[in-house]
Amino acid sequence: MSISNSERRTVDTRAKEHSTALRSGSVGVLGILFFVLSAQAPLTGIVGASPLAAALGNGAGAPGAYLVVGAVIAVFAVGFVAMSRKIRANGAFYAYVTAAFGPRTGAGTAWLALLAYNTIQAATYGLYGAAFSGLLASVGIDVPWWLPALATMAGVQVLGSLNIELGARVLAVLVGLEVAVLLLFGFTVLFQGGGPEGLNLAASFSPAAIAAGAPGVAIMFAVASMFGFESTAIYSAEAKDPQRTVARATYLSVGVIAIFFAFTSWMLVSYYGPSQVMAAAGAALESGDSTSFVLGPMVDLFGPWAGVATGILLVTSLLAGIVAFHNGINRYLHSLALRGSMPAAVARTNRHHAPAVAAWLQTALAVALVAPFALLGLDPVLSLFSWFSGLAVAALLVLYILCSAAVVRYFHRQRETGPLWQTRIAPVLGAVLLIWVLAQVVGNFTALIGGSAGTAAVLLATVPAVFAAGTLVELAIERRGGAAPGRA
């Protein structure tokens, strides 16, 4: 029986409406790098973390913590990249752990990833809302912090429903501007020969300097600065030449992030002087405006305009991070739906080949996480930002450790004789180093979140609870209907 043109158009339209395909070959190494750097929100990391790391951590040795953590993550990335060459899936951690340990452990991992990414995005909304409302207050407009946060959720939802190239272009502009202003500051201090005590590499990067004070606090913030580098693999389905693109983007991201944060924070130490930086950071925290630790030197070197410009860029930095996490979470949800661990409708893409249904679900999750803090009148920075960022770091480290174990298990089961460094030695060494880092985070968790020991215990308990919930849900799915088509 023949099909009329009108009927054919109807079929084609329905096929497009229910498509689950992402746009392949739409992003290259630099595009992925911008997504990763925007997730780090460089200006936010420097302005928000530097005073805390210097005052509560190891003082002048804080820059060295970025290199230590960068080295640990680089070792972890060896096995991570080896898996990305064997398993092409936009679920990253979820796909890798599933391939090694099965769908139940994989589902628990997926839930942990969603916990980490959604809570760090919600934390960023808290800091974003506070920064935006403060910026408006400086020109005489008073609005509650949650109003710009809610309006931005709507805008990010629209952006997330468009194609990935538009997102990459927007992030490239925002990230470029914030990196430029930080490099301007850094190179100005460098070419001036530092501050009152000059340039002193040993004061920030020697083992003794890094181990001084409470290095665990500085290490925690260094881990947070790396948050999102693993999203290189999340975009494998949309990457140009995935095997090479993901590997290059991963190593480039780790190197750029570690060196950039270490250099910029070292220039801050040099500006104040190694013997005075801890006191200066403490004074900024006590003043109630911790941003003055970074904005003060900006104004001193370049004039009042620099303070205003940096304040605006801080807001756009946070916006870039929010967009990046929105895109990453969408693709995790999309991958889960393709594998049958979520309703099939979540995998549907729109005419831009963007995961539109997943985008709506992610926005709903953001509202659900942020709304209670607004309704209860809790502080968006001291409560929402600090609590959820601490929880996200703890969950992320557990994900890294699970992924390292998955690399060893996968290549052992496949009986592959690949390079031992990539398939055995680096993953095991990475797991050991990451366990040490996790111990530092747990031991300093109360200081990290700025809350009570009880709050810290509840937040930390969320990590194993969410993992167990994901495993139980997967078990229930298997018992009810068996494994879905396409599930690993």
pLDDT at residue 45 in the model: 81
Distance CA 269, CA 199 (A): 9
**What are the residue ranges in the chain where pLDDT is below 70?**
1-41, 88-92, 162-172, 228, 230-246, 288, 352, 416-417, 450-451, 481-488
- Written as one string, the DSSP assignment of 133-187 is HHHHHTTT----THHHHHHHHHHHHHHHTS-HHHHHHHHHHHHHHHHHHHHHHHH
Contacts 24+ apart (CB under 8 A), 354-361: 354/22, 354/160, 354/161, 354/162, 354/163, 354/164, 354/330, 355/22, 355/330, 355/331, 356/161, 358/329, 358/330, 358/331, 358/333, 358/334, 359/157, 359/160, 359/161, 359/326, 359/330, 360/157, 361/333
Calculate helix-pair angle for 62-86, 426-443, nearest 10 degrees: 140
| Contact call for residues 333 and 111 (beta carbons, < 8 A) | no
What pLDDT sits at residue 300?
A: 92
pLDDT of residue 386: 81
pLDDT at 315: 87
Distances (CA, A) of 352 to 24, 164, 404: 12, 8, 35
| Number of Cβ within a 10 Å radius of residue 192 | 14
| DSSP tag of 382 | I
**DSSP state letter for 340:** T
Choose among 248, 207, 163, 201: nearest CA to 58. Answer: 207
Tell the residue number behind the tokens 């557990």, with chain if given.
398
The distance between the two most distant Cα atoms of the chain, rounded to a whole number of Å, is 87
Dist CA 118 CA 133 (whole Å): 22
Please give the pLDDT value at position 297.
Answer: 93
DSSP tag of 339: T
Residue 289, SS3 per DSSP: coil
Provide CB contacts within 8 A for 320, sequence distance 6+: 38, 41, 170, 171, 174, 175, 178
CA distance 214 to 204: 14
Q: Which two tokens stand for residue 336?
A: 């889960």
Condensed to tens digits (0 to 9), the pLDDT of residues 352-396 reads 677 878 888 899 999 999 999 999 998 887 788 888 988 998 999
Residue 99 sits at φ, ψ, to 5 deg, of: -60, -30
Q: Would you tell me the crossing angle of helices 277-286 and 292-302 to the nearest 10 degrees?
A: 110
What is the rounded average pLDDT for all residues in the chain? 81
Indicate yes or no: pTM above 0.85: no
According to the model, what pLDDT value does residue 191 have? 95
Q: What is the pLDDT of residue 428?
A: 95
The amino acid at residue 408 is V
Coil/strand/helix, residue 192:
coil
Q: Say how far apart CA 270 and CA 198 lie, in whole Å.
A: 6
- So what's the pLDDT on residue 3? 43
Question: Tell me, what DSSP letter sits at residue 484?
Answer: P
pLDDT tens digits along 98-154: 889 998 998 899 899 899 989 989 998 988 898 888 888 878 888 999 999 999 999
Q: What is the pLDDT of residue 398?
A: 95
Q: Which residues contact 294 (CB under 8 A, 6 or more apart)?
A: 46, 47, 50, 51, 268, 310
